[in-house]
Amino acid sequence: MDRRTFLRRAGLGSAGVAAVAAPVGTYALGHHVGSTQLDGNYSASVKAGMTRGGVNVWWSVDTDGDKVLALTFDDGPTKQFTAEVLDILGRYEVPATFFLIGEMVVRLPDLVQRMVDDGHEVANHTYDHFSAAIQSPADVRATIERGADAIAELVGDRPRWFRPVKGHVTGTVLTAAAELGHDLALWSVSRDPGNGTAVDDMAGVRANYIEALHEGAVVIFHDGIGRSAFEATGPDDDLVLARRTEIDALPEVIEAYLAEGYRMVSISELIDEHAAGRDATG
């Protein structure tokens, strides 16, 4: 989207730009898009004094040369992809972290139970999978808490980790995460860091995952298709194809990481092993 289109969608003339100097950006490494659609015109500010404490936000961690990374999977569970992903991870005996949509947790609890039984970490990715950039602060707070509770109901505890939808970090996201005791996980390695890889370009996607590999990486895959897994309009064909491509690339990506001498661990293990005594800026 060019700047003019963005402004038009945001309902702003050029005179309005200064008033929204901080439209909600996406903070993921390699995805530093300058602006995103701001339908709701909600502020990205964090009100001082509303919440005590703080929240850590991690893209990756400095491991001092230790070859270790965390595989993560977003938007599951789904009947299309999750069992296959669990089979692949089981075959290579590597743990991962699943950022779950609460609505899908409720619909497919057996797959979440299998994640836990197989030794994977489960984490919160909201209940309804709307971007925080287009939801009211009250709705953002509610979907994060409800997502955490959907997991707690199944596995006993609210999860430690939260990943915002599309990497959209707003003031409300930070405040709600702090209040709920979440750490925030973004990512440093993805299928398409330059946003130029075709959805069905398996070789390109595989190469992106392998070339971007680094020590302490948080690698993002998907075993779901966003809200289209439960919307009345049905699965989004483009997303299904994009996810199919990712999962097809997964075995060779894991093999490449193993061949490079990498260990794969849960995101809690990655951070806790290497971040003792320092915060996310360290």
Q: Which of residues 210-239 bind Zn ion (CB under 5 A)?
A: none
In single-letter form, the type of residue at position 30 comes to: G
Contact 186, 173 (CB under 8 A): no
75 binds Zn ion (CB under 5 A): yes
- In 17-138, the DSSP E strands lie at 57-58, 68-76, 97-100, 121-124
CA–CA distance, 175 with 52 (Å, rounded to integer): 9
- Using the contact rule CB under 5 A, the part of the chain among 66-74, 189-197, 208-216, 230-238 near Zn ion is 66-74
State the minimum distance, in angstroms, from the CB of residue 244 to Zn ion: 16
CA–CA distance, 106 with 77 (Å, rounded to integer): 10
Active site residue 237: no
Q: Give the DSSP H/E element, type plus range, for residue 245.
A: helix 237-259
CA–CA distance, 257 with 64 (Å, rounded to integer): 18
Active site residue 128: no
Of the candidate residues 36, 44, 74, 122, the single one contacting Zn ion (CB under 5 A): 74
Given the complex with Zn ion, which of 163 and 274 has the nearer CB atom?
163
CA–CA distance, 98 with 80 (Å, rounded to integer): 15
Q: Give the DSSP H/E element, type plus range, for residue 145.
A: helix 137-155
Alpha-carbon distances of 9 from 6, 22, 137, 142, 272, rounded to whole Å: 5, 16, 20, 26, 42
Which of 120, 222, 223, 274 is catalytic? The answer is 222
CA–CA distance, 44 with 137 (Å, rounded to integer): 10
- Positions that interact with Zn ion (CB under 5 A): 74-75
Which residues are marked as active site?
Answer: 74, 222
